Chain A
Amino acid sequence: MTPQHLRYTDQHEWVADTGEIPGVATFGVTAYAADALGDVVYVQLPEVGARITEGEACGEIESTKSVSDLFAPVTGEVLAVNDAVVDKPELVNTDPFGDGWLVKVRHAGLPELLDPQAYAALTEEA
């Protein structure tokens, strides 16, 4: 349920810093978040080239019943956004850690994030 190769925020986002491209991270929302939202029907992502700031809203995720801000888990410049998710928001529900990724960011260093064990503990409490 909680992929071991990712890091997490307490806002239920995951961050992948694979090291394939140094200084580039990908983020999305967790399966826990997707499940809590219900069926996602609309995703608004930042523009490519935009500066996003850790902890600040950089987009929106709407389900049939709710609207949630997407918080940037890292400060940096948006290199790419997942257009497939904009066209098919249900990818956030069906594959939140894979095809449902949201944004790729060039950053100057990741903030302190939760490891999978800490995140799993957080969602178990909730």
Chain B
Amino acid sequence: MSRPSPLQAVHAELGATFTDFAGWSMPLRYGSELAEHKAVREAVGLFDLSHMGEIAVTGAGAAAALDHALVGNLSGVKVGRARYTMICAEDGGVLDDLVVYRLADEEYLVVANASNAATVLAELTARAGDFDATVTDRSADTALIAVQGPNAVHVVGAVCDADLDALKYYASVRTSVDGVDTLLARTGYTGEDGFELYVAADRAEQVWRVVTEAGKEHGLLPAGLACRDTLRLEAGMPLYGNELTAEMTPFDAGLGRVVKFEKDEFVGRAALDRRKDDGAGRKLVGLKGSGRRAARHGYPVVDANGTAVGEVTSGVLSPTLGYPIAMAYVATELAEPGTALAVDVRGSAQPVEVVALPFYKREA
């Protein structure tokens, strides 16, 4: 039996189709996922992301513990800011990609993917053992509501007093929404401007309804996980399990910039130093197709002779762009934008062109 979101009743009321995701029952879509995708690109979408794992790391040694446990320089993050980072195994393999918020000098919030939340909690707890730091799982009592899209600023501005002009991308502030204590962050996974609201699970429904009401005049639609995936793919953002796995290092995924060798010892350092050039044989690229047939996770990428030269990690017919897009690992010599390749779509070679990521970038 999968775990219900604290917003389960609201989703049911809205007629959501549910999907089982990492042990949670979450809304896949409410109506048309294409309409939800479009709402996020052109107006605003409201997501329940309560399946994400929230882990608090607190104490005088919290910063040092995270510097040891993660590949990034978390002690260097200013209070009120957030950082995209990763947690690696001793062998350098990626255990999860994370967003870490520094809420106070001695207080961090680590947000993990639902599928890896238990692993991240266990590893953080073990790795913090020698530090003056406490690791607390807050997932069960925390709901995460995301408001994403060009109109998100108007909707969020209408429900709280926070100074949104001052709230930069990857920054957070404590505020109140309809009397509910809220950690408001300008983060997201859609390629649009947007906000994420961390609230107590037992107040989530109230916050959801207040945001929904404020969103009425701004074209807000509730949006499910189906469009979350197509939005992040258009924005060229990696998904753990697709672009990132425990078999690869951050360098293999082209995300070596998150690894900070200049800091002290951290878990995975030796292996990452050794493996940082291993992935040089292949590269994560964007593929642009024509027609309507999308390549999917696991499909082979082939050259003109039909020889396999890579593998698709994610693919979809882009709702915004109207043509098929995919991310794939391909041989480095074929990774230059403009290179003509093909994807084997269930026995039929569909021509694709290597393009730079992201596929979609919002106008500044």
Contact = CB atoms under 8 A, between A and B. Distances in A.
The judgment on whether A and B are partners is: yes
B32 interface: yes
A64 B226 contact: yes
Interface in B28-49: 28-29, 32-34
B257 interface: no
Contact of A42 (B32, B229, B294): B294
B292 A89 contact: yes
Contacts of B319: 64
Interface string A28-51: 000000010011011010000000
Contacts of B346: 60, 67
A93 interface: yes
Interface in A60-78: 60, 62, 64-65, 67
A65 B29 CA distance: 11
Contacts of B226: 38, 64-65
Contact of A39 (B32, B292, B294, B296): B32
A41 B37 CA distance: 14
Contacts of A60: 346
Given A38-B33, A39-B33, A67 B296 contact: yes
- For the complex of A and B, the 3 pairs showing the least CB-CB separation, nearest first, are A42-B292, A39-B34, A41-B317
Contacts of A89: 292
A64 B293 contact: no
Given A42-B293, A65-B226, 11 more contacts: A38-B32, A39-B33, A41-B292, A41-B294, A42-B292, A60-B346, A62-B317, A64-B230, A64-B316, A89-B292, A93-B32
A42 B28 CA distance: 20
A62 B29 contact: no
B-side binding surface: helix, strand, loop or mixed?
Answer: mixed
A62 B293 contact: yes
Nearest to A69: B346
A123 to B, nearest CB: 14
Nearest to B29: A38
Given A39-B32, A39-B34, A65 B292 contact: no
B294 A62 contact: yes
B180 to A, nearest CB: 33
Q: Chain B interface: which size bin? A: 10 to 19
Interface of A: 35, 38-39, 41-42, 44, 60, 62, 64-65, 67, 89, 93
Nearest to A94: B32
Contacts of A65: 28, 33, 226, 229, 316
A35 B29 CA distance: 11
A65 B21 CA distance: 14
B102 to A, nearest CB: 36
Contacts of A35: 17
A64 B292 CA distance: 11
Contacts of A44: 293
A64 B317 contact: yes
Nearest to B291: A42
A42 B296 contact: no
A64 B225 CA distance: 12
Contacts of B230: 64
Interface in B2-44: 17, 28-29, 32-34
Contacts of B33: 38-39, 64-65
Contacts of B17: 35, 38
Contacts of B32: 38-39, 93
B291 to A, nearest CB: 8
Interface string B331-346: 0000000000000001
A118 B363 CA distance: 53
Nearest to A63: B33
Among A39, A42, A60, A89, find the residue whose CB has the most chain B CB atoms closer than 10 A: A39
Nearest to A36: B17
A64 B296 contact: no
A73 to B, nearest CB: 22
